[in-house]
Amino acid sequence: DDNILKVKDLVKYFTVTSGIFSEEDSVKAVNGISFNVKRGETLGIVGESGCGKSTAGRTILKLLEPTEGKVIFNGKNIYEMTDEELRRLRRNMQIIFQDPFASLNPRMKVGELIKEPLRVHGIESKKERINKVKDIIEVVGLNESHLNKYPHEFSGGQRQRICIARALILNPKFIVCDEVVSALDVSIQSQIINLLKDLQDQFGLTYIFISHDLSVVKHISDRIAVMYLGEIVELASIDELFNNPVHPYTKALLSAIPVPDPEVNKERIILEGDVPSSRNMPSGCSFHTRCPYNEEICSLEKPKLKEKGNEHFVSCHLKCS
């Protein structure tokens, strides 16, 4: 099987309590998404904040309990695994977050921070662990002298390198990168993206790369899934998505990227209005409250994600007929 990961009809609802009568409400953070990730590729997931992309990333790793659905990793449904199977799987599936500083213990030296996952998983002898840490710090573009320092002594970009080293030390096959460059300056962003690409080639890694920024996702992804209010509205290769976007929401995201030649982006759509609350999902197509093409059918019937050919999937009543 080409696919390292298959996500099927994944649903994640949160229950929230609010109001004077403590009413229970359901927030539909992820509302039935399905996709595959091929071995060695990068699948980008893009969408505005609150679209459910981070919740999807965490639920796929079972850091959050799913409401419904399946996640098949290397042929096995991870939601049916025993605790022991899941513990072993954790080494293979890692996640790196946006704010590197927040996820590092400020009182631990960098060497200890990188070594910690090996200790937790009881891997290797003490001496072996130290050798591994010395190797991996070089791999991420730092050096041995950095191991004796504390996280606060590093820049944001360097701290993200430390987090990458911590994820890599377990020799994973699959990494979810959740807004990993969003807090960094643009020049540092491209350094980290280039590092991630090098590591992917070197270690045969597969990534899910989550970002609100389509121009960032573009630089690392092979394919992109566009999410809106907990659903995937378009999924295609980079070339298809940028040269032949179909869904009005994707077009709106593309319109927001400054282009040197305005002719390139012929159909510009400027998004108006706020993202509706996922506690109160619009009927039919969830984008209809902001879509310039909205017609009667759009608020009545939910469009399905359909293939237009060329492994290009879109969910839109008008654009798919």
Q: How would you write 92-127 as a 3-class SS string? A: HEEEECCCCCCCCCCCCCHHHHHHHHHHHCCCCCHH
The answer to whether the beta carbons of residues 183 and 4 sit under 8 Å apart is no
Question: Does 275 contact ligand SF4 by CB under 6 A?
Answer: no
Torsion of CA 272, 275, 276, 277, to 10 degrees: -160
Q: Which residues, 6 or more positions from 217, have their beta carbon under 8 angstroms from its beta carbon?
A: 44, 45, 46, 209, 211, 224
Question: Does 317 contact ligand SF4 by CB under 6 A?
Answer: yes
Whichever of 118 and 285 has its CB closer to ligand SF4, that residue is: 285
Question: Which part of the chain contacts ligand SF4 (CB under 6 A), choosing from 97-105, 146-154, 263-271, 291-299?
Answer: 291-299
Binding mask 197-236 for ligand SF4 (x = CB under 6 A): ----------------------------------------
Question: Does 282 contact ligand SF4 by CB under 6 A?
Answer: no
Q: How far is the CB of 247 from ligand SF4 (least distance, A)?
A: 6
Whichever of 13 and 287 has its CB closer to ligand SF4, that residue is: 287
Among 86, 109, 294, 308, binds ligand SF4 (CB under 6 A): 294
Question: Does 237 contact ligand SF4 by CB under 6 A?
Answer: no
Listed residue (275, 242, 283) closest to 51, CA to CA? 275
Q: How far is the CB of 49 from ligand SF4 (least distance, A)?
A: 20
Whichever of 140 and 226 has its CB closer to ligand SF4, that residue is: 226
Question: Does 318 contact ligand SF4 by CB under 6 A?
Answer: yes
Q: How far is the CB of 282 from ligand SF4 (least distance, A)?
A: 9
Q: How far is the CB of 290 from ligand SF4 (least distance, A)?
A: 8
**What is the C-alpha to C-alpha distance for residues 163 and 177, in angstroms, rounded to an integer?**
11
Among 118, 248, 269, 313, binds ligand SF4 (CB under 6 A): 248
User: Collapsing DSSP states into helix, strand and coil, what is residue 280?
Assistant: coil
Question: Which part of the chain contacts ligand SF4 (CB under 6 A), choosing from 120-128, 174-182, 192-200, 293-301?
Answer: 293-301
# binding residues, ligand SF4 (CB under 6 A): 14
How many other CB atoms are there within 10 angstroms of residue 191's CB atom?
A: 16
Whichever of 35 and 287 has its CB closer to ligand SF4, that residue is: 287
Among 4, 140, 269, 298, binds ligand SF4 (CB under 6 A): 298
Query: For the chain, how far is it from start to end, CA to CA, in angstroms?
Result: 32
DSSP 8-state symbol, 309: S
Q: Contacts with ligand SF4 in 122-181 (CB under 6 A)?
A: none
Question: Does 291 contact ligand SF4 by CB under 6 A?
Answer: yes
Q: How far is the CB of 228 from ligand SF4 (least distance, A)?
A: 9
CA 119 to chain centre: 27
The answer to whether the beta carbons of residues 151 and 101 sit under 8 Å apart is yes
Q: Which residues, 6 or more positions from 200, have their beta carbon under 8 angstroms from its beta carbon?
A: 40, 42, 206, 207
**What is the C-alpha to C-alpha distance for residues 233 and 227, in angstroms, rounded to an integer?**
6
Q: Which residues bind ligand SF4 (CB under 6 A)?
A: 247-248, 285, 287-288, 291, 293-294, 298, 303, 316-319
